[in-house]
A and B are shown apart, each in its own frame.
Chain A
Amino acid sequence: MIHLKNIARYYKRGFQKSWVLKDISLDINEGEFVTIMGPSGAGKTTLLNIIGMLDQADGGEYTFMHEPVHRFNERRRNELHKHHIGFVFQAYHLIDDLTVYENIETPLLYRGIKGKDRKSMVAEVLDRFNIVAKKDLFPEQLSGGQQQLVGIARAIVGRPKLLLADEPTGNLHTQQGIEIMDLFKQLHADGMTIIQVTHSEENAKYGERIVRLLDGFVRQDESSAKEEKSVS
C-alpha cells in the first residue's frame, strides 16, 4: 500500500540545510501494524507527516495505493488524504469549542457526507468505543484517556485505510495507555493498516513490525510476528 523510495527531507537552519531524513526506503502492505521507533529528534514525526501527506519530501518517491503522491498537486493530495488517512496525536488535539459528538463528526463534514449517514456513522463509533454517555461533553470535561479515545474515534470514523498515530499514549498513564493499545490491536484485527510512533517497547509489541530510525536512515526493520531480523 505504501511505497517510499529514497525519501529525503531537510529544514533550513540559518543558511545551512539540516537533513532530518536522508534516505528512507520503506514498503508497508495493507493490513500491517508498523511501529516506528528512534531517539527524540530522529525524524519520526517528520516521516509520519510525509506519509500522512501533511508534509512533502524534498526528494524521493512516494506511492500510496498505486498513486504517485510526489507528483500530485495540493488538491489531489488533499483528496487522497481526506478519504484514506486518519491521524491520532500525542496531545489529542480535539477542537475545544466542539463537543465529543461534533469532534467525531467534523471529518465527515469535510468529506461531504450527508446528515443521515453522518449520524449513523458517528453513533456507531460512539457505541463501539463506549462513549455514548460522553457525547455532549466538551474536551476539557474529559480525562486524558477519554480525550484520546475521542481522538481515535475521530480518526477512524471515516473508515480510513491507514491510521497514523504519533506517540498516542505519550501523555497517558500506563493503564490508560494499555486501553488505547488494546483498541489499536482490535482495529488492526479488523483489517486497518496502522503506523504508530512510540518510545515504549511495550507498546511496540502490539505491532508486528518495528522500524528504527537513526540519523535520517532506517537502522533496523524487523518483523516481530515472523521472528525474522533484517538489517538495512
Chain B
Amino acid sequence: MIKHNIKLALRSFMRHKSSFFINLIGLSTGLACALLILLWARDEMKMDKLFALDDRIFQVMEHQDYSDGILTTKSTPGPLSSALVEEIPEIEYAITIIDPGKYNLRVDKKSIRASGVYVGKDYFKIFDLPLINGNSDQILSADNNIAISESLAKSLFGTADQAIGQAIEFEGVDLYTINGIFEDLPDNFSQNFDFLLPYEPYYQENIAWLSNWGSNSPHTMVLLAQGANEDLVNEKIGDFIKKRVENSQVTLFLKKYSDLHLYGNYRNGKQAGGRIEYVRLFSLIAIFILFIACINFMNLSTARASRRAKEVGVKKTIGARQQSLIYQFLSESILLTLVSLIIALSLVQLTLPQFNLLTNKQIALDFSTDLVLIFLGISIITGLIAGSYPALYLSSINPINVLKGTMKSSLGELWVRKGLVVFQFTISFILIAAVLIVFKQIQYIQNQQIGYDKDQLVYFNRDGRLQNQIEAFFTQAKELEGVQNISSIAHNLVGQQNNTRSVEWEGKDPTLDLLFENVRVNYDLLETIGIDLKEGRAFSREYGTDSSAILLNETAVSIIGMTEPVGQRIKIFGEEREIIGVIKDFQFQSARQEIKPLFFQLVPHYSWLMMASLEKGKESVGLKNLETLYESFNPGFAFDYSFVDEQYAKQYVAEQRVGVLSRYFAGIAIIISCLGLFGLAIFTAERRKKEIGIRKVLGATIQNILTLLTKDFIGIVLFAILVGLPIAYILSKNWLNRFVFKIDLDIGYFGLAALLMLIIAILTIGSQALQAARMAPKEYLRNE
C-alpha cells in the first residue's frame, strides 16, 4: 500500500508540475529558513552551558537604587570575591575578573598584541576549560604566573608543547612564567581572551581603588557549594555592601552564569528579556515562513482537487475507507516535505558561511542523531500540517457526487482558501513594514548628530614610553601631516564607563541620588573631538589651576539647577571644584538612553587613551604618520588603533543584525506567498478558460478580462493589508520603544509597505492573467 501511495504521489507531482515546483521551492526554502534559525537558536541556547558545574556557577550582580530608577550591573567592588569566600560558607569559590584589555606580549624578538584578563586564581576550578598543560590547582597561583591559549602559545613559540615554563615579557616591563596552557576557547563561551593573569598581584598594585567597597568595576563570579540554596545565599549577600558602605543603595544578588547570555537585560531592577527575545522572534518567524509554505500546498492541492476527487470517488466505491485515504494524502505531503528537506539541507550548507557572517557565529551543519531527528521531526510535522486540510477535504468527498460529475467547490471551502491567502499576505505585509521601519531607525541612529565629530577620531593605548613622555608625543604628533589635533582621555566616550554619585552642590535635595558620568581628560580634548562649549572656556595650559576646574554638560547643569553656572563651585569626591564652562550635550551612550549628566575633569595621568582627530581626506596618511611616531617611541610594540565611529556603531550590532536578517526573511516570506498566488492564478485562468472564451466572443476587451481575473486577488491582498496594519503598527511601536531617540512612526512607512506588496502581487498574477486574456477565444472553447 505504501508503494501504491508513493507511486500515486510521484505521478501526481509529475502531472501537476507547476504546483509541484511551487510547493517544492516553497517548502524547501521555508525549511531551509527554519533549519538555519533552528541551528542559530540552538547555538544561542547552548551559549555558556559548557561547564561541568554549570548549575553552581553564578555571577554576582548589583541592583543600584537611584532617584531615576534601579540600575542593574555586573560591576562589583574589588575586594568582594575574597570577602564572599570568607564569610559565606555556601560559596565554595569566588573570583574577580577584570574586563579584557589588549596588551603587548614579547618573547625574544617576537611581540604580539593579545587580549588578556586578570582573574582570580580559582578560575579553572569554576570554569573547567580543558587544559593542554598545567594543572588546575597550581595555575595562576604565583604572582608571576600566566596561562595562555594554545594558539597564542603556537604564535609565540611555534609549538604549544614547549611553551610551559617559558617566560613572557608583558607590556615591556614585567616578566611572567607560563604555568598553564588551555585549549582555544570554544565558540559557545561568551568570555573572550588569549591569556590570563592572576588578579591578586593586580589587586595589590591598584589597591587604592580596588580595595574601595564604594567603587564598582570588576566582575565577580562564584561557585556555590554542592547542594547550596541560591535563595538562601541571595538573602545572605543582599546587604553585603550596605553593611560596609554608609548610605549604600546597592543590593547584591546571584544570577546563574549560563542564564546571563539569554536573560541578561534588566529594567528598573526586574529581569526584562535579553537575547531570548530574538530567539523567540526568529523562531516565530521561522514558524510563520513554514506555515506560509504549507498554505501554498493546501491551496494548490485543494484548488486542483477535481482530478484527485475522481480518484477518491472511485477508491471509495471499491472499498477504501476515509482513514486510508487520509493516510494516502498525508503520506504524499510528507513525501514532498522529505524531498524538500534534502534540498533544504543543501541550501543550508550553501548559505551557512554567509549566515555565520551575518550572525557572527561559527555554526556548522552536523548530522548528530539528535539534530537529524529534529530535522526529520520538523519536516514530518510540516508535512502533516501542509497535508492536513487537503487530506481531510479530499477524503471526505462524497463518491456519488464525484461520479455523477456534480461536484462543486463549496462556499466554505472557498472561504478557507481565501482565509489562508489572507494569512500569508498579512504576515508578508507585517514583515515588509517591519523591515522598512527597522531600516529607517538604524539609519536614523547612525546618522544622528551626536554632538562631536566621531567620524575622524582614532584612539590607541597610551602605553610604553607614552606614559611618561606624552607631552613630547603631543608636540610631535601635532606637526604630522594628516593629524589635526591630539589629546588623551580616560575612555573612548562610547557607553557608560566611569561614574559617581558623589557630586554635591549647595541646595542639593538630600534624597536625590544620581550617577554622573566622570570623564578624565587631558588638555585639548574638547578641541580634538570637536565638542562645542555653550559658555565659559575649556581646560587650558594658560591657567595653572585647571586641575581644580570642572566642565559640566547641559543636562548636569539643569539637574543641579544653576542659572549662571560659570564661576560657581560644586564638590566632587568631597573636593571643591570651580565650574569653568558648560559643554553642549552630546550622546555618550546609545540612542536607547536619555543623555545623562556628565562632567569633564582635567586628570592627565588618568587619561590612558590617546585620542587624535585626522584630517578629512588624509586619514590614511595621518594614521601612517601616527604609527611611525608611535613606533619610534615604543619600538617592538604593535600599533593597535580603533575608530570612535566604529565603536559607536558597535552599540547597534544587535539591531543591525536583526535588520539584515529580517530583510532576508521578509524577502523569503513574500516570495513563497507570491509563488502560491502565482499557482492559484494559473489555476484560476485554467478553470475559467471557457468563461473567458464566452465573454470574449460576447465582446469583452482584454482589460475587462484582466479586471475579471485579478480583482479577487487584489481584494484579498488589500484585505490582508488591512488586517496586518494594526498588528504591524503595534509591533513596530513596541520595538521603537527601546529607543529614546527614534523616528516618528509615520503612516507613510505602512503605505509604502502596502504599495510594495500590491505591486509585487500584481506583477505575480498580472502576467498569468494577461496571457489568459490575450488568447484567441477558439483556444478556450476547443476543449469543450
Q: Which residues of A contact B (CB under 8 A)?
A: 45, 49, 52, 54-55, 75, 78, 81-83, 86-87, 89, 91, 93-98, 102, 106-107, 109-111, 154-155
Which residues on the A side are within 8 Å of B321 (C-beta)? Answer: 75, 78
Q: In the complex, which residues 310-327 of chain B have their Cβ closer than 8 Å to any Cβ of chain A?
A: 310-311, 313-321, 324
B693 interface contact, C-beta 8 A:
no
Q: Could you mark each residue 317-349 of chain B with 1 if its beta carbon is under 8 Å from any beta carbon of chain A, else 0?
A: 111110010000000000000000000000000
B376 interface contact, C-beta 8 A:
no
Which residues on the A side are within 8 Å of B1 (C-beta)? Answer: 109
- Evaluate contact between B4 and A102: CB separation under 8 angstroms: yes
Once A89-B403, A95-B310 are accepted as A-B contacts, the answer to whether A154 and B11 lie under 8 Å apart by CB is: no
- Evaluate contact between B310 and A96: CB separation under 8 angstroms: yes
Which residues on the A side are within 8 Å of B7 (C-beta)? Answer: 98, 102
CB nearest neighbor in B for A157: B318
- Evaluate contact between B314 and A93: CB separation under 8 angstroms: yes
Q: How far is the CB of A103 from chain B (nearest CB, A)?
A: 9
A93 to B324, CA, bound (A): 20
B12 interface contact, C-beta 8 A:
yes
**Can you name 5 A-B pairs with beta carbons within 8 Å?**
A89-B403, A91-B403, A97-B311, A102-B4, A109-B1
Once A81-B319, A87-B318, A97-B11 are accepted as A-B contacts, the answer to whether A106 and B310 lie under 8 Å apart by CB is: no
A68 to B317, CA, bound (A): 20
List the 5 closest pairs (A to B, CB-CB), nearest first.
A82-B319, A107-B318, A97-B11, A110-B319, A87-B317
Interface size class of B (residues with CB under 8 A): 20 to 34
- Evaluate contact between B4 and A109: CB separation under 8 angstroms: yes
Q: How far is the CB of B593 from chain A (nearest CB, A)?
A: 65
- Evaluate contact between A106 and B315: CB separation under 8 angstroms: yes
Q: How far is the CB of B124 from chain A (nearest CB, A)?
A: 65
B316 contact from A45, A54, A94, Cβ within 8 A = A54
Once A78-B319, A82-B319 are accepted as A-B contacts, the answer to whether A110 and B324 lie under 8 Å apart by CB is: yes
Q: How far is the CB of A57 from chain B (nearest CB, A)?
A: 13
Which residues on the B side are within 8 Å of A54 (C-beta)? Answer: 316-317, 399-400
Q: How far is the CB of B749 from chain A (nearest CB, A)?
A: 49
CB nearest neighbor in A for B312: A95
A89 to B313, CA, bound (A): 12
- Evaluate contact between B8 and A97: CB separation under 8 angstroms: yes
A45 to B401, CA, bound (A): 12
Which residues on the A side are within 8 Å of B315 (C-beta)? Answer: 95, 106, 110
CB nearest neighbor in B for A97: B11
Q: How far is the CB of B17 from chain A (nearest CB, A)?
A: 14
Q: Could you mark each residue 1-37 of chain B with 1 if its beta carbon is under 8 Å from any beta carbon of chain A, else 0?
A: 1001001100110010000000000000000000000
Which residues on the B side are within 8 Å of A95 (C-beta)? Answer: 8, 310-311, 314-315
Name, among A75, A87, A109, the residue most crowded by chain B CB atoms within 10 Å (CB to CB): A109
Q: In the complex, which residues 258-309 of chain B have their Cβ closer than 8 Å to any Cβ of chain A?
A: 307
Once A93-B313, A106-B4 are accepted as A-B contacts, the answer to whether A154 and B318 lie under 8 Å apart by CB is: yes
B541 interface contact, C-beta 8 A:
no
A25 to B103, CA, bound (A): 104
CB nearest neighbor in B for A82: B319
Q: How far is the CB of B664 from chain A (nearest CB, A)?
A: 38
Q: How far is the CB of A143 from chain B (nearest CB, A)?
A: 19
B782 interface contact, C-beta 8 A:
no
A111 to B315, CA, bound (A): 12
Which residues on the A side are within 8 Å of B4 (C-beta)? Answer: 102, 106, 109
CB nearest neighbor in B for A105: B4
- Evaluate contact between A94 and B314: CB separation under 8 angstroms: yes
A105 to B400, CA, bound (A): 22
Once A54-B316, A78-B321, A154-B318 are accepted as A-B contacts, the answer to whether A93 and B403 lie under 8 Å apart by CB is: yes
Once A45-B404, A54-B400, A102-B7 are accepted as A-B contacts, the answer to whether A97 and B317 lie under 8 Å apart by CB is: no
Q: How far is the CB of B554 from chain A (nearest CB, A)?
A: 78
CB nearest neighbor in A for B12: A97
A96 contact from B307, B313, B316, B317, Cβ within 8 A = B307
A75 to B322, CA, bound (A): 10
Q: How far is the CB of A81 from chain B (nearest CB, A)?
A: 6
A106 to B325, CA, bound (A): 13
A96 to B311, CA, bound (A): 8
Which residues on the A side are within 8 Å of B311 (C-beta)? Answer: 95-97
CB nearest neighbor in B for A103: B314
A103 to B318, CA, bound (A): 11
Which residues on the A side are within 8 Å of B313 (C-beta)? Answer: 93
Once A45-B404, A93-B403 are accepted as A-B contacts, the answer to whether A110 and B314 lie under 8 Å apart by CB is: no
- Beyond contacts A97-B11, A98-B8, A111-B319: 8 other A-B pairs, Cβ-Cβ < 8 A, are A45-B404, A78-B319, A82-B318, A86-B318, A87-B317, A91-B403, A102-B7, A106-B315
CB nearest neighbor in A for B15: A97
Which residues on the B side are within 8 Å of A106 (C-beta)? Answer: 4, 315, 318
A109 to B4, CA, bound (A): 9
Which residues on the A side are within 8 Å of B317 (C-beta)? Answer: 52, 54, 87, 93
Q: How far is the CB of A74 from chain B (nearest CB, A)?
A: 8
Q: How far is the CB of B434 from chain A (nearest CB, A)?
A: 43
CB nearest neighbor in B for A96: B307
- Evaluate contact between B310 and A93: CB separation under 8 angstroms: yes
Once A97-B12, A106-B315 are accepted as A-B contacts, the answer to whether A49 and B400 lie under 8 Å apart by CB is: yes
Which residues on the B side are within 8 Å of A155 (C-beta)? Answer: 318
Q: How far is the CB of B397 from chain A (nearest CB, A)?
A: 12
Q: How far is the CB of A83 from chain B (nearest CB, A)?
A: 8
A89 to B404, CA, bound (A): 10
A107 contact from B319, B324, B405, Cβ within 8 A = B319
Which residues on the A side are within 8 Å of B15 (C-beta)? Answer: 96-97
A155 to B313, CA, bound (A): 14
Q: How far is the CB of B564 from chain A (nearest CB, A)?
A: 92
Which residues on the B side are within 8 Å of A107 (C-beta)? Answer: 318-319
- Evaluate contact between A110 and B403: CB separation under 8 angstroms: no
Q: How far is the CB of B740 from chain A (nearest CB, A)?
A: 63
Q: How far is the CB of A69 from chain B (nearest CB, A)?
A: 15
Q: Could you mark each residue 382-420 of chain B with 1 if its beta carbon is under 8 Å from any beta carbon of chain A, else 0?
A: 000000000000000001100111000000000000000
A84 to B257, CA, bound (A): 71
A96 to B14, CA, bound (A): 13
Which residues on the A side are within 8 Å of B320 (C-beta)? Answer: 110
A107 to B400, CA, bound (A): 18
Which residues on the B side are within 8 Å of A82 (C-beta)? Answer: 318-319
A212 to B320, CA, bound (A): 32
A107 to B314, CA, bound (A): 10
A75 to B321, CA, bound (A): 8
A97 to B314, CA, bound (A): 12
A87 to B317, CA, bound (A): 7
A155 to B317, CA, bound (A): 10
Q: In the complex, which residues 552-584 of chain B have their Cβ closer than 8 Å to any Cβ of chain A?
A: none
Name, among A78, A93, A111, the residue most crowded by chain B CB atoms within 10 Å (CB to CB): A93
Which residues on the A side are within 8 Å of B319 (C-beta)? Answer: 78, 81-83, 107, 110-111
A109 to B2, CA, bound (A): 10
Which residues on the B side are within 8 Å of A86 (C-beta)? Answer: 318
Q: How far is the CB of B407 from chain A (nearest CB, A)?
A: 13
CB nearest neighbor in A for B308: A97
Which residues on the B side are within 8 Å of A93 (C-beta)? Answer: 310, 313-314, 317, 403
Which residues on the A side are within 8 Å of B310 (C-beta)? Answer: 93, 95-96
CB nearest neighbor in B for A90: B403
A154 to B403, CA, bound (A): 16
Q: How far is the CB of A142 from chain B (nearest CB, A)?
A: 16
Q: How far is the CB of B618 from chain A (nearest CB, A)?
A: 74
A83 to B319, CA, bound (A): 8
CB nearest neighbor in A for B4: A109
CB nearest neighbor in A for B1: A109
Q: How far is the CB of A72 from chain B (nearest CB, A)?
A: 14
Which residues on the B side are within 8 Å of A111 (C-beta)? Answer: 319
Which residues on the A side are within 8 Å of B403 (C-beta)? Answer: 89, 91, 93
A212 to B104, CA, bound (A): 108
Name, among B11, B318, B404, the residue most crowded by chain A CB atoms within 10 Å (CB to CB): B318
Which residues on the A side are within 8 Å of B316 (C-beta)? Answer: 54
A96 to B405, CA, bound (A): 16
Which residues on the B side are within 8 Å of A154 (C-beta)? Answer: 318
